[in-house]
Amino acid sequence: MNILAISIKGVLPFVVYFVAAAALFAVFIAIYIRITPYREIELIRAGNSAAAISLSGAMLGFALPLASAIAHSVVVEEMLMWGAIALLVQLLVYAAARRMLPDLAHRIPEGSVAHGIFLGALSLAGGLLNAACMVY
């Protein structure tokens, strides 16, 4: 079997994993923007850097362990399970940030970049640790 034939055999698994991961990513964003008491997308459209930074950190914090789950899963169902765990971890990170900074829900919409950076960095750190723990 030549290299092209071998590569073509990998297209279907790629598509399946990519579509499943994209769907899980969309679910994460939909849940995340619903649990926050402010409207990130509207704030970002209005030029609110704090909202952009915090949401970007959450997305990267979710994408990192999702990528690890993709790389280490044998079947797509396993990737979906670990992706769901990554989603839960990111929601817990947000809950922890809210406990550490009770005024976070008001400061992000006000455009406090410090709060946006803190939440984004905490989300990214949670995602890095989560991804590292998925290497089994």
Sorted by where each begins, the domain ranges of the chain are 17-133
Tokens of 123: 């989300």
Mean pLDDT score of the chain: 95
Residue 106 above 90 pLDDT? yes
pTM of the predicted protein model: 0.91
Rounded distance between C-alpha atoms, residue 96 and residue 113, angstroms: 19
Rounded distance between C-alpha atoms, residue 41 and residue 115, angstroms: 17
Q: Helical H runs in 36-112?
A: 40-45, 49-72, 76-100, 104-110
Rounded distance between C-alpha atoms, residue 127 and residue 51, angstroms: 18
Binned at pLDDT 50, 70 and 90, residue 5 comes out as confident
| Residue keyed to tokens 């055999």 | 9
Largest CA distance in the chain: 61
> Which whole number is the average pLDDT over 97-120?
97
Express each pLDDT in 27-74 by its tens digit: 999 999 999 999 999 999 999 999 999 999 999 999 999 999 999 999
> Which whole number is the average pLDDT over 111-133?
97
Residue type, 68: S
- Cβ neighbours for 42, distance < 8 A, ≥ 6 positions apart: none
Torsion of CA 2, 8, 13, 14, to 10 degrees: 120
Residue 4 above 70 pLDDT? yes
Tokens of 27: 């679910």
Looking at the chain, the whole-number percentage of residues with pLDDT higher than 70 is 99
What's residue 136's pLDDT? 67
Rounded distance between C-alpha atoms, residue 48 and residue 52, angstroms: 7
Rounded distance between C-alpha atoms, residue 40 and residue 29, angstroms: 10
